[in-house]
Structure formats: C-alpha cells, structure tokens
Amino acid sequence: MRVFQIENDWGFDNLRLSTRPEPTPGPGQVLVRMKASSVNFRDLVVPERGYGSFTGQLPLIPLSDGVGEVVQVGADVTRVAVGDRVCPLFFQEWISGEPDLHRLTRSLGGPIDGTMAELMCLSEQGVSKVPDYLSDEQAASLPCAALTAWTALAGCSTTRPGEKVLVQGSGGVALFALRFAKLMGAHVTVISSSDAKIERLRQMGADATINYRQIPDWYKPAREMTGGQGFDHIIELGGETTLPQSLRCIRPGGVLSMIGVLSGSKLSASLGQVVTRQVRLQGVTVGHRDGFEAMCRMLEQHRVETVIDRVFAFAELKEAMNYLKSGAQFGKVCVSHVD
C-alpha cells in the first residue's frame, strides 16, 4: 500500500512517498481504508521532531486526522462493522476521564503512525463513527480541529447562553469554535488578518470582528465591545504575541483556553494579571473519545458544516503542508486518498 513517511532522518525533506505491506487486523482490531486526511499545524512540527522523544521513531507516517471505511474486522469486534465510515481518534487510548501521561502520548501522527496510508489497522476502541451528511474531507477534519474547539467550550468549561467569547483567527479550530459557541448561545467576537476573511466570518455568524493588522492593539476595541467588563472566554490560538493582549481583555474570573502557539511558544505575559484577576488559564489538547461522540451527536442534530479551503491529491501532501504553513487558508486543508 502507498504511504507517506518520514524516513532515514528527521526533516521535511525526508518526508517521502513510499510503500508498506498491507496490515491484517487481529482480535479486537479493524482495518480501515482511508478516504481523506486533513492537515493541522501540529503536522508541520512533527517532521522536524518538534516534540522530542514524544514525536516517535522513524520511519513515521504523519498526519493526525482522517476518515475511512471499515473493510475488515478481527475477532470479537463489536463497536463497528464492515462498511461503517469512521474516524481514527487522535488519542488512541483516551476514552474518557482525565488525561494522564500515557493517554496524552498515544497520539496519531507521532508517536503512532498517522493517517497518510491507504490502510490503517487500529483497535476498535480507537475509532468512532461519523455523521453521514458530511463529505469525507469534512469528516476528516473532526478528530483534532473540531474536538479541540468542543473540548474548550463544552469539556474543560461550559459555555452558557449570553456569554461573551473571543476567537482568534479563521483556521480550523477557530471556525469550529465560532460555530459551536453560537450554537451554545454566546456572543462571539473574532479577530482576523484581512477584511475578506472578516466578511466571511460575519456570514458565518460572528457578532463582532476586528482586523488585527489594522488595529495592532486589538485588545482595546475588543474590551470596549464588552462594555469594559471583559470576555467570559477567549479561545487563545496565537500564543506568544496574542496572550498578553488576551489577558488585558479577559474578565476577572474568566476562562482563557490556551490551544495554539502560532506566533511563538515563549511566555512573555504578566502573570500578575492571571493571579490578581483570578483568570482560569487552561491548556486544551484535543480531547477524549466520549467528547468526540458527544460532539458528533451535536453536529448531526444541527447539521454543522466543516469549512474546507482546499483539497490536495494524495501525492501532493508536501504542497498541502506548505499551503497550510503560508497561512492563506480559511478553514481546513485536506488531502484526498481517492484517485
């Protein structure tokens, strides 16, 4: 079968189209023929061994997100059947409950082989069915981007009607956060880098928007939008350069979900603002299977559509990753496994 894998040594240049023997499912396992994958910023870090020893060993198949069809099951499998369309879950062994070191280090696309293979052999516990109304590319975007937004808003904290939520950007997590927060009854402000993207965000339901390139100190108008009280919840995706501003416009006792470090990973914010205003600063790393399945029930009920920016062919994985790195996308960048 065809695979993309990082081989011989770490580095983007060592990511190559290759082949491996087709796997066979054992007891409790399922064989999934992959139909689509989606690319996350995490996937740009893995080839450079950006997670140290937790990145895994070579050769390593990259990408964390995907969807496929069950084509064979091993003995004693009961969760799914041949013909079911499923997503491999990002954390293969985090079913429910609190995270721990083991659960958080059994992730696809490093250290476990990821979704850029024509076939994947997985535990039946590590896959979940997905809503029928979604296309393959839309479904492939659920395990990381959608579940991260869901966990921030409905798992690590509970978003209530009337709360004021600020979301940063227009990538996959940001757009899911916008849609989920609106369904929960929140008032949502989104900051973005261009007027064209802002127009699309408004069409998707954003109540207020700020162009942060035109207004570098965006926290000032953002805070004014709350009547000076501050936001109840901020979906923090930028990291190093955005966190200091987020701390200036979160309300006392508010929740700041730390998800991304797109602008850098060093902490240069005033910790006094966290302490004296009793801000809850929570890290969010995707989520567990129970959360994924709860999210899928919500998606099914409300027919939430995943925004797909562009779909690349299987052999164009590197082009897809470079496109994501450019930051030009609005929504998800995907790879089709179907020729």
Is the confidence at residue 270, as pLDDT, over 80? no
Is the confidence at residue 85, as pLDDT, over 60? yes
Query: The pTM is what?
Result: 0.94
CB atoms within 10 A of CB 225: 18
- Using CA atoms of 237, 238, 243, 246 in order, give the dihedral in degrees to the nearest 10: -60
119, two tokens: 């076939």
113, two tokens: 């082989």
DSSP-assigned letter for residue 151: I
Distance (Å, whole) CA 180 – CA 206: 11
Among 320, 322, 325, CA closest to 137 = 320
165, two tokens: 């939520």
Amino acid (one-letter) located at 111: P
Residue 72 CA, chain-centre distance (Å), reads 28
Q: What pLDDT, in 10s, does the model give residues 91-122?
A: 999 999 999 999 999 999 999 999 999 999 99
CATH 3.90.180.10 in the chain: give the residue spans. 2-143+307-336
pLDDT of residue 156: 85
CB atoms within 10 A of CB 185: 11
pLDDT of residue 260: 74
Residues 27, 76 contacting (CB under 8 angstroms): yes
pLDDT of residue 64: 97
> If you search the block for the tokens 């989920």, which residue do you land on?
180
Under CATH, to which class is 2-143+307-336 assigned? alpha beta
pLDDT of residue 271: 72
Q: What pLDDT, in 10s, does the model give residues 138-181?
A: 999 999 999 999 999 998 888 999 999 999 989 899 999 999 99
For 71-98, give the secondary structure using H, E and C: EEECCCCCCCCCCCEEEECCECCCCCCC
φ and ψ at 322, to 5 degrees? -65, -35
Q: What pLDDT, in 10s, does the model give residues 324-337?
A: 999 889 999 999 99
Among 76, 156, 84, CA closest to 127 = 84
CA-CA-CA-CA torsion sign (167, 189, 165, 131): negative
* CA dist list (Å): 148 to 48, 72, 276: 23, 30, 28
Distance (Å, whole) CA 306 – CA 135: 9
Is the confidence at residue 262, as pLDDT, over 70? no
Average pLDDT score over residue span 21-37: 98
Is the confidence at residue 263, as pLDDT, over 50? no
Distance (Å, whole) CA 156 – CA 172: 19
Helix (H) / strand (E) element for 188: namely strand 187-192
Let me know the angle formed at the C-alpha of 109 by 13 and 283, rounded to the nearest 5 degrees. Answer: 115
CATH number of 157-283: 3.40.50.720
Average pLDDT score over residue span 57-66: 98
Residue with the bigger pLDDT between 275 and 159: it is 159
Average pLDDT score over residue span 223-229: 95
Let me know the angle formed at the C-alpha of 155 by 55 and 239, rounded to the nearest 5 degrees. Answer: 50
What mean pLDDT value characterizes the chain?
94
Let me know the angle formed at the C-alpha of 295 by 125 and 183, rounded to the nearest 5 degrees. Answer: 175
> If you search the block for the tokens 């205003």, which residue do you land on?
277
pLDDT of residue 120: 98
φ and ψ at 164, to 5 degrees? -105, 120
